[in-house]
């Protein structure tokens, strides 16, 4: 079967006409500047809605929720909300309650912000505080403290390491 336009050579997929490969964007390049800005806008609006105490749920009564971060998707249609109840207690029921009322929260946020679309929310427990506390506990453990503190014989300055006198500024060292 004859090929049409056989005189025109098309580049192979992923290559430019000059033979150089097309550079692809990294999959994990990080959030754009707009995503960061919109995330902060959503975080402030959501914390204002939660502060007003408009959500009627027994799991949220008297609970102060900290919104640590909001990460919108690249198309700004969805947003992941990282939150933690104050003190970190009863996080499971609080997160479930927020996910039950995400439609109401989205509607209230839509009245407060000026975006073309108010993103659909997904609430996730922020474990960064617990992880930081775990690392701090490890660093304060006696086993690690033993490695951090050194005996006096190891604390000698460089000039005293050979058992001689300390080196002063201006001394000729040969």
Give the per-residue pLDDT at 82: 94
Query: Hey, which CATH number is domain 33-150, 3.90.330.10, 3.40.50.300, 3.30.300.20, 3.40.50.12780?
Result: 3.30.300.20
Q: Residue 167 — pLDDT band, cuts 50, 70, 90? A: low
Q: Residue 98 — pLDDT band, cuts 50, 70, 90? A: very high
CA distances from 5 to 8, 9, 10, 13, 51 (A): 6, 8, 10, 18, 67
Q: Count Cα atoms within 13 angstroms, Cβ side, for 19.
A: 0
Q: What is the pTM of this model?
A: 0.62
The model's pLDDT over 32-73, given as tens digits with 9 standing for 90+, comes to 889 999 999 999 999 999 888 778 888 888 888 889 999 999
Average pLDDT, stretch 3-23? Answer: 55
The model's pLDDT over 83-94, given as tens digits with 9 standing for 90+, comes to 998 877 888 899
Domain boundaries along the sequence of the chain: 33-150
Average pLDDT, stretch 127-141? Answer: 87
């Amino acid at each position: 079967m004859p090929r049409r336009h056989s005189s025109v050579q098309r580049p192979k997929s992923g290559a430019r006409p000059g033979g150089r490969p097309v550079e692809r964007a990294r999959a994990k390049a990080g959030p754009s500047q707009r995503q960061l800005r919109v995330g902060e806008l959503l975080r402030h609006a959501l914390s204002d809605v939660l502060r007003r105490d408009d959500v009627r749920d027994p799991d949220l009564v008297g609970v102060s929720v900290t919104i640590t971060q909001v990460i919108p998707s690249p198309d700004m249609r969805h947003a992941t909300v990282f939150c933690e109840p104050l003190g970190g207690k009863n996080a499971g029921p609080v997160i479930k309650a927020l996910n039950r009322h995400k439609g109401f929260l989205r509607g209230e946020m839509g009245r407060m912000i000026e975006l073309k679309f108010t993103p659909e929310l997904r609430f996730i427990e922020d474990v960064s505080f617990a992880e930081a506390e775990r690392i701090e506990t490890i660093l304060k453990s006696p086993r690690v403290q033993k490695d951090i503190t050194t005996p006096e014989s190891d604390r000698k300055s460089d000039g005293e390491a050979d058992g001689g006198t300390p080196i002063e500024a201006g001394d000729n060292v040969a």
